[in-house]
Structure 1
């Protein structure tokens, strides 16, 4: 299961909690908060769950990039890195989410890695163009446990 934070216009027939199909539009990036925190610009956080528990993202692949945690005891927001094909990027680096061109369909999205969050929850932000505060259909960012 995946949970998301800072989404608006969530589009499920069962409300904020529901089942979505692969590549189904589930909402728009935003700055909304429901459990505290703040946001200065539209983005989204996600968390993977397995059997009701938080899933550690160490070794998970996103668009071909493998996520890695920083050393134990390190500052969780300034540690960790991602790697793919011999390229290593540390926190706060911009990286092109070239999932479709990398895997053959030629589309391009941007992806930003923010290092590890608390409780072994890695933070990844996917900037998406603000579509004038209206929920618009468009190509989704591709995130998958088994990319």
Structure 2
């Protein structure tokens, strides 16, 4: 017999977030396959399409990724000839990531994706924006908690 005091799966916010994330990323997969990108690579490209160029450090902060995770992603994107990694002339320790012309051209093919995903979510635009704000706030709160509670 199950312990009635035990946490229930369906009551866990973490499970709802996990299931929603898996559903959304699986919806992206066939569209990203057509672009020749994985979901993490798509996120890198989104940041570069928005900003034009970023340092590895700034890109990592924008995507909440450490350099150990980001470096292999950037190497694969460079191999696909979508980005260029260049050391900055004024600071050899800093590497700047820039779109190639091929990477910039891919943007046109990616334009419809957010609309398709938004439609699939079945929420009015206002509710989607509220959800984004809520999720950003949740992320900030959890990160702040982790920073103030090492080892948790």
Larger radius of gyration: 2
TM-score by length of 1: 0.26
- Higher relative CO (Cα under 8 Å, sequence separation at least 6) belongs to 1
Higher helix fraction (1 or 2) = 2
TM-score by length of 2: 0.26
